[in-house]
Amino acid sequence: MPSWPDTRPDGVSIEELPIEQIDELAPVWNSLREHHLTLAPSWFPAPYDAAESWQRRARQYRAWLCEPDSFVLAARHDHQLIGYAMVHLRDGSPTWPFSERAGELETLAVLREKRGRGVGRALLKAARDRLRALGAREISLHLLVGNQSAGRFYDRQGFRPFATWLTSSLREDGESRHM
User: 153-165 burial by CB neighbour count: b if 16+ within 10 A, else e?
Assistant: bbeeeebeeeeee
Position 125 in a domain: yes
pLDDT of residue 117: 93
From residue 101, give the alpha-carbon distance in Å to each of 72, 84, 96, 137, 140. 18, 22, 12, 7, 11
Domain contains 170? no
Q: Between 123 and 168, where is the model more confident?
A: 123
- Secondary-structure breakdown of the chain: helix, strand, coil percentages, each rounded to the nearest 5: 35, 20, 45
- Structural domain contains residue 173: no
CATH of the domain at 68: 3.40.630.30
Is residue 164 in some structural domain?
A: no
> Do residues 127 and 4 lie in contact, with contact meaning Cβ atoms separated by under 8 Å?
no
pLDDT of residue 177: 56
* Domain assignment present for 177: no
If one counts the domains in the chain, the total is: 1
Rounded CA separation 40/130 (Å): 32
Whether 71 is in a domain gets the answer yes
Nearest alpha carbon to residue 145 among 127, 164, 130, 124: 164
Q: Residue 167: pLDDT above 60? A: yes
Q: Residue 21 belongs to what domain range? A: 12-156
For the stretch 17-46, pLDDT in tens is 999 999 999 999 999 999 999 998 888 889
Rounded CA-CA distance 162/63 in Å is 26
Looking at residue 96, what is its pLDDT?
82
pLDDT at 3 (0 to 100): 40
Q: What is the pLDDT of residue 2?
A: 43
Mean pLDDT along residues 134-138: 92
Say if 6 falls within a structural domain. no
51-108: pLDDT as tens digits: 999 999 999 999 999 999 999 999 999 999 999 999 999 988 888 887 788 999 999 9
Give a yes or no: residue 44 inside a domain.
yes
